[in-house]
Amino acid sequence: MAINTFAVCDDVFAPQELDGLAQLGDRLVQRRAQVTAQGQHDPALRITQVAWITPEPEHRELFARIGTAVRRLNAQFFGFDITELEPLQYTVYHGAEGGHYGWHVDAGPNTPAPRKLSLSIQLSEPGAYAGCDLQFQSGPKIDTAPRTRGAVIAFPSFFLHRVTPILSGTRKALVVWANGPQFR
């Protein structure tokens, strides 16, 4: 089975629901994301603000909707053995801060369980910011994900990806990781 670089689903959330997700994220305590290289915080790797949405009872419906989208995209495009979702990461890139996230993978020895599928849910309108593209490295080729508001972009967690520097405005996204047993 060939694995796609990324897959997109556009019909998971209505515009009013996307507004509600952004409002939920904006009400949370946001902190500057900390990414380390050799044990030291390295702002050259990432500048973003993040907050966490946990699977508490008031978020049960949100996790169920995202879980349905994960299962649908996974069955159609990837075929991984997925058993759970991690807490959701509300991520904000501000133009004034030079927000970005350099080339990285979401899987590795420091993740809580084997991450298999990563998703980015676009909460901002494409015209609300310049730059800040989600891109994937596939050999010598770089693929850019769509910026459509509401797009749920799914990709294998072990694929190299980045978010290019934001030039102006603000980009908001909800990041999801789906985990499962070790690959065999």
pLDDT tens-place string over residues 41-100? 677 789 999 999 999 999 999 999 999 999 999 999 999 999 999 999 999 999 988 999
For 83, the 3-state DSSP assignment is coil
Whether pLDDT at 3 is above 80? no
What does the block give as tokens for 175? 């990041």
| Cβ-contact 78, 119 below 8 angstroms | no
Query: DSSP label at 44?
Result: T
The H or E element containing residue 84 is strand 84-85
| Cβ-contact 56, 87 below 8 angstroms | no
Beta bridge partners of 147: none
pTM of the model: 0.92
For 102, the 3-state DSSP assignment is strand
Q: How far apart are CA 166 and CA 73, in angstroms?
A: 28
First-to-last C-alpha distance (Å) of the chain: 15
Map 153-176 to HEC letters: EEEECCCCEEECCEEEEEEEEEEE
pLDDT tens across 141-153, in order? 899 999 999 999 9
Alpha-carbon distances, residue 8 vs 60, 73, 119, 154, 177 (angstroms): 23, 8, 9, 6, 15
Whether pLDDT at 129 is above 60? yes
Q: What angle do CA 172, 54, 169 make, to 5 degrees?
A: 10
What does the block give as tokens for 13? 């959330």
pLDDT tens across 31-43, in order? 998 776 666 667 7
